[in-house]
Amino acid sequence: GAGVSQTPSNKVTEKGKYVELRCDPISGHTALYWYRQSLGQGPEFLIYFQGTGAADDSGLPNDRFFAVRPEGSVSTLKIQRTERGDSAVYLCASSLVHGGNTEAFFGQGTRLTVV
């Protein structure tokens, strides 16, 4: 596709359930980022991948959150035992290379609602 694709666009889940959010980056982009945006706030960094490895996961709020990128392309953000406070828009971004202030392109996000 032409841009970063995130699925699903909306996800409603019950408290305590497990969810997976998928990100398809722009083809050829080696760097991939996950951010979380709460209502009325700016996006907050969660994790960054360079290729298949998580280069920086310092933004993950706790061990209920985990992300993978097994083949260096598609990434999945996994949230266990969801809580109402996890409700937010989860944004994925990708960039061609890491560093050099290369532009990161964002997807339109997955809106997660935990009820």
Spatial separation of the C-alpha atoms in residues 55 and 52, rounded to whole Å: 9
43 binds other proteins (CB under 8 A): yes
12 binds other proteins (CB under 8 A): no
66 binds other proteins (CB under 8 A): no
- For residue 10, the surrounding DSSP H or E stretch is strand 10-13
Which residue from 7, 41, 52, 113 is in contact with other proteins, where contact means CB under 8 A? 41
Selected range binding other proteins among 15-23, 63-71, 80-88, 101-109, rule: CB under 8 A: 101-109
Which residue from 13, 44, 64, 76 is in contact with other proteins, where contact means CB under 8 A? 44
Is the Cα dihedral 51, 55, 58, 61 positive or negative? Answer: positive
Q: CB atoms < 10 A from the CB of 57, how many?
A: 15
Least separation in angstroms between residue 56's CB and other proteins is 6
Helices first, then strands: H and E counts in the chain: 0, 11
36: left (phi over 0), alpha (psi -120 to 50) or beta: beta
Site string for other proteins, 69-98 (x = CB under 8 A): ----------------------x-x-x--x
Which residue from 19, 23, 24, 33 is in contact with other proteins, where contact means CB under 8 A? 33
